[in-house]
Amino acid sequence: MYAVNNAESSDSEVDSLFDEPPIAMRSAPPIPGLFVPPIRLPLELANDIVQQCMSLYFDGRDINQIMLFGRTTSEHGENMGSGLPTFLITLLHRLAELLRDHLPEKVHEMLFPPKDAPPRARQAILNLYHPGEGISPHVDLLKRFDDGIIGCEEEELFGMAVPLDRNHWDLYLEERSVLVLSEDARYDWTHGINGKLRDFVDGGVDGQEEPEWIERGTRLSITFRWLLPGADIVGEPGDP
């Protein structure tokens, strides 16, 4: 369940009358700057990414989050994030292609700057969730991260919310889907995932069928964010 709340609303979970579970929607709510385009990462690419992430970072280790950093540079024509592992650079190139026709040009350019743009520091965060696990609603740190966030679902996930009121939406994210947060969606809305074992999801893309329960599997997500200038330097001058 990918839940999006207005940051000024105190309710992260909104109960409906008679305790009916909220129905997660399959399409993006009308929040300016939120994009969930009708695209999927190619299966082969997603499988390769999952395999690399698991074997490099997660298998045999009791951890569920990895942060990686890269820097864009016009040297050698590389503008995606030199320093990130090759499979993430490949993913960024595919995302740039896949998203080109689904985002306003200025949002696409913010996420994938032209080769002659000034260098920037990019973070990739890998999150692994087992069924029942989630992440508290939050706005990504305002002093650390800039505008323009890309989230990719590599493996099974789930849901989004019903508009029980105008301040809370649950979104069902299909596996291999891609989500972009910018502008209001990045700054004025929290996002999070309720820790549940299953989600009640809108039936069918056109919503014509009955809602259905969908069990959660393991979820791996990859989020790309820009570090603000200076936020890539840790510690004080003179620190060892």
Ligand X SMILES: O=C(O)CCC(=O)C(=O)O
Contact positions toward ligand X, by CB under 6 A?
125, 127, 135, 140, 151, 191, 221, 223
**Residue 142, Cα to own-chain centre: how many angstroms?**
16
| Secondary structure class of 88 (helix, strand, coil) | helix
Q: Which is nearer to ligand X, 6 or 74 (CB)?
A: 6
Q: Compare residues 7 and 78 and give the one whose CB is closer to ligand X.
A: 7
Q: Which is nearer to ligand X, 79 or 153 (CB)?
A: 153
Q: Which is nearer to ligand X, 58 or 79 (CB)?
A: 58
| DSSP per residue, 152-199 | EE-S---B----SBTTEEEEBPPTT-EEEE-HHHHHTEEEEE---SEE
- Between residues 80 and 173, which has the closer beta carbon with respect to ligand X? 173
The distance from CA 154 to its chain's CA centroid, rounded to whole angstroms, is: 10
18: phi > 0 → left, psi -120 to 50 → alpha, else beta; which?
left
Q: Cβ 166 to ligand X, closest distance in Å?
A: 22
Identify the burial level of 69 via C-beta atoms within 10 angstroms of its C-beta, where 0-12 means exposed, 13-18 middle and 19 or more buried. Answer: middle
Cβ closer to ligand X: 162 or 181? 181
- Residue 161: CB minimum distance to ligand X, A: 14
User: Least distance (Å) from ligand X to the CB of residue 134?
Assistant: 9
Count of C-beta atoms within a 10 Å radius of residue 223: 18
Least separation in angstroms between residue 171's CB and ligand X is 10
Measured from the CB of residue 22, what is the shortest distance to ligand X in angstroms?
Answer: 18
Report how far apart, in Å, the C-alpha atoms of 98 and of each of 94, 103, 121 are.
6, 10, 22
Q: How far is the CB of 58 from ligand X (least distance, A)?
A: 14
> Residue 38 corresponds to which amino acid?
P
- Residues with Cβ within 8 Å of 61's Cβ and at least 6 positions away in sequence, in order, are none
